[in-house]
Structure 1
Amino acid sequence: MDVSWVTPSILAELRRPREYPAVSLVLPVHRALPEKAQDPIRLRNLVAQARKQADDDPEITHSRRADLQKQLDSAVEELEWEREQTSGEGLVLHVAPGEHHTWVLPQPVTEQVVFGTTFLTRNLVAAANMLEPYWALVLAEKPTRLWDGSPLWLHEVTEYGFPLSAQGPEGEAPLKGGVAVRPSEPRAAYRTERVQRFIRAVDDALGQALERRRRPVFLVGMQAHLRRMRELTRHRDALADPETDTEAAGYEKASAAALSEALRTAWERAHAKRVRTALDALDAARSEKRYAGSLEEAWSLVNQGRGRHLVVDESYHVAARVDGERVNVVTGDEGEIRPDARGTVVQDAVDELVERQLEHGGEVTFVPSGAVDGTGLALSLRY
């Protein structure tokens, strides 16, 4: 399933403790040859690894092992490789006796097999973090169009009065939203007022969309329209930074494919700013002594509900031994220790930390590898 379907309630259900084992298989997928042709083989190898681990684990009963293998087979059989490889860069299979779930992610992932008493969800959280949807407003007088977008989809919206067109200078035909033309006025004054009224009509329609779903708004259009929209809008706080504006004409007639290329740049700039903001907030928290800079430090603080914002290196994952509110990273040969049914050894303790942060209502942001001072993660505190 496309990760855009993930909701907080679905994440909560996936994080629900299960009878051991809950197995998570994570696989990078590719859009181009020759790697693309090898993805099904890599998945078969990953499934074989999971089967062997289940066969060798004395804590898994024969009946649960058989059910687990049946669910693994079903999950693989239901994959539509052509679709999965063209719509994402990562694949996650959640498999347990009696259930299986498949997720396609937009970001690269690290190949792994994880056994535990909950499913691995950090990749889904990271994807949701990346996939914050947006509105894209393509400003033009014939017409202005509204798009519902994210890195995974772009769909034109035909609600709230969109697409919205200004009328020509001939006649007295009113615009949607009550905008009327008056050709008897001096041309320059008429043109200025006409554009202003049209932008206000667009802004009213945009307000309806924002009332339904509050999202950042990316602007696309000629410089004059972009400037006037920013001057006149009543929804300035919803507009993305001016650095995300796409200054160009002609996109009012563009296809979703053509427009998505332009909006990818806008999204990347917005994403980079979100990362910078998260890292700057960590610096401020450090200076105010509201900061924890390692898994061991953050663990008990998150469990106490004191974590405000957890910032995680997207590639950081470690095994750890958990004892109540204490955690010790497993190193050396111990790194090969498998989790047991009691959950005392967790193969990905970072995933567990992310889950607990979300359960306590804290914020989580994933950032590029190495961005968190090489420590893997950091936490700003509420108090």
Structure 2
Amino acid sequence: MDVSWVTPSILAELRRPREYPAVSLVLPVHRAQPEKAQDPIRLRNLVARARKQAEDDPEVTHSRRIDLQKHLDAAIEELEWEREQMSGEGLVLHVAPGEHHTWLLPQPVTEQVVFGTTFLTRNLVAATSMLEPYWALVLAEKPSRLWDGSPLWLREVTEGRFPIAAQGQEGEAPLKGGIGVRPSPLREERLRRFFEAVDEALGQVLNGRRRPVFLVGMQSHLHRMREVTRHRDVLADPETDTDAAGFEKASAAELAAVLRTAWERAHARRVQAALEALDAARGEKRYAGGLEEAWNLVSEGRGRHLVVDETYRVAARVDGEHVEVIGADGEIRPDARGTVVQDAVDELVERQLEHSGEVTFVPSGAIDGTGLALSLRY
């Protein structure tokens, strides 16, 4: 199942404590050949690692081991590799006695096998934070088209008035001319009215579904749309605009590559805003750096915004509200009591979400070498 189906209630259910072991398998996958041909083999190897760890773990009983293997086999059998790989770059399997879940993610992940009393959800949290859907408005006279998009999907909108074409004076024929036509007051006025009509149609779609809107089209059309729109608050930053003609005839696959670039620019701005907010919090003495310093503050509900290096993983010993980092993730075996946590960063993310705090994952090395930082509510 792709991660666009994940809701807060699903995340809460996945974070629910389970009978040991709750096993999380994380695997990078590929969208294209030749790399994607190796993904099923790499998954089988990852599953073999999980089975070996279960066999070597004295706290996993024989009956739980058999049940675990059954659900590992079922999860693999349900995967449709051709479809899954075309639309994602990460795969997460959650397997425990009596259940299994598979998730396709839009972003690259680090290969892992994690045993614990809860499922690993940090990758899902990171993915859902990246999956804020957007609208893409392709501006052209013949016609303007609207697309419903995210890093995982792109679908044309055909509801309401879209696609919408420029009309002549009688409301039937398209405006004469096109690229290279000499501007005239009459034509400029008709173009202005046309883009006002596009903006009105956009407003009808935005009603109740306000999202960032990326613009694609010739520079003159981009300028005109920004000039007449009544929805400046949802138009993405001008630096995400795509100045190009001809995309009114493009397929979803052709347009997706262009919009991926626009989305990456917008995502980079969101990351930068999160880092700047951390700097402001530091200056106001509302800042905590590192896992051990942030742990109690998050548990008390004081965390406003947790910013995490996407590659930062450590194991820790948890004793009540006290946490002690004891090694790199993967080097420490967890226990059935939950006192040794294989990915303590995941545990911290879960606690932050349980207190309605915000979480943002940022590129490796962006947080002063501490791995994570927290701005405080008070």
TM-score range, shorter chain: over 0.9
Match of 2:300 among 296, 299, 304: 304
- Paired AA for residue 119 in structure 2: F
TM-score (norm 2): 0.93
- Paired AA for residue 5 in structure 1: W
The residue aligned with 2:349 is: 354
Offset of 1:57 from its aligned partner? 2.3
1:324 partnered with 2:351: no
The residue aligned with 1:269 is: 265
CA distance in 2, matches of 1:172, 1:78: 52
The residue aligned with 2:184 is: 188
1:138 partnered with 2:138: yes
CA distance in 2, matches of 1:168, 1:280: 49
The residue aligned with 2:44 is: 44
CA distance in 2, matches of 1:107, 1:335: 21
| Aligned length in residues | 370
Long gaps (5+) in structure 1: 176-186
CA distance in 2, matches of 1:277, 1:25: 32
CA distance in 2, matches of 1:263, 1:45: 35
Offset of 1:174 from its aligned partner? 10
Q: 1:218 to 1:32 in 2, by over 3 A?
A: closer
- Paired AA for residue 348 in structure 1: D
C-alpha root-mean-square deviation of aligned residues, in Å?
1.9
CA distance in 1, matches of 2:136, 2:62: 54
**Given that residues 116 and 339 in structure 1 are in contact (C-alpha distance below 8 angstroms), is that contact kept between their aligned partners in structure 2?**
yes
CA distance in 1, matches of 2:296, 2:287: 13
Matches within 5 A, 1:1-383: 1-32=1-32, 35-169=35-169, 171=170, 173=172, 188-331=184-327, 336-383=331-378
CA distance in 2, matches of 1:250, 1:7: 37
Long gaps (5+) in structure 2: 175-182
Residues 308-355 of structure 1: CA deviation (Å, up to 9, x unaligned): 1111111111101112222111138x9744222221111001111111
Residues 216-264 of structure 1: CA deviation (Å, up to 9, x unaligned): 0001112222112112211111010000011122111111111112111
Q: 1:34 to 1:192 in 2, by over 3 A?
A: closer
- Paired AA for residue 87 in structure 2: S
SS in 1 for 2:207: helix
**Given that residues 114 and 330 in structure 2 are in contact (C-alpha distance below 8 angstroms), is that contact kept between their aligned partners in structure 1?**
no
Identity %: 82
Offset of 1:193 from its aligned partner? 2.8
CA distance in 1, matches of 2:242, 2:114: 42
CA distance in 1, matches of 2:232, 2:31: 38
Q: 1:242 to 1:66 in 2, by over 3 A?
A: same
CA distance in 1, matches of 2:117, 2:327: 21
Offset of 1:288 from its aligned partner? 0.9
CA distance in 2, matches of 1:305, 1:124: 22
